[in-house]
Amino acid sequence: MKSEINFYQVDETIIKSLAPLLLKILDEKKKVLVFCADSMQIREFDSALWSYGRNKFIPHATIFDREFELERQPVLLTDKEENLNKADYLVFLREPSEAFVSSFKRVFYFYEQGKFSTKIKPTNSYRKENGKWVKLGY
């Protein structure tokens, strides 16, 4: 399967840019796997998603949540290259293998300016300007 790969250069914390995308994916009734660098990053994002916005949280589970059926989770945070929730979409925060990337319909990579580090080639690339995502032409 040919994946659509979208890169997003953020001007704020990655979680602040990522949260609206996760909400949109949930609205579409799709599932997403968030591929984190390590267990510390999983815990950091887990905490942030529980308290996103005022009176809001984003429903999710982590690879450490053994009491949940991981396959049923709409958003799953992991550091393993396993699609345990049968997600349609992948968000990666550390570089996965190309074979893993190709198993998803859509792929998203969020990075801070000056911290771009991946060999994976994007289909589309965006940067936030004046609060709006602008497609970069290259």
Q: How is 75-133 classified by DSSP, letter by letter?
A: EEEESSS--TT--SEEEESSPPPHHHHTTSSEEEEEEETT-----PPPSEEEEEETTEE
Q: Mind listing the pLDDT tens digit of every residue in the chain (138 residues)?
A: 688 999 998 888 888 888 889 999 999 999 999 999 999 999 999 998 887 766 677 889 999 998 889 899 999 999 999 999 999 999 998 889 999 999 999 999 988 776 666 778 889 999 888 888 889 875
Q: What is the pLDDT of residue 115?
A: 67
Residue 109 pairs with which residues in a beta bridge? 7, 92
Indicate the pTM of the whole model.
0.90
Give pLDDT, residue 120.
83
Show me where the domains of the chain are located. 4-136
Q: What's the topology of domain 4-136?
A: Rossmann fold (3.40.50)
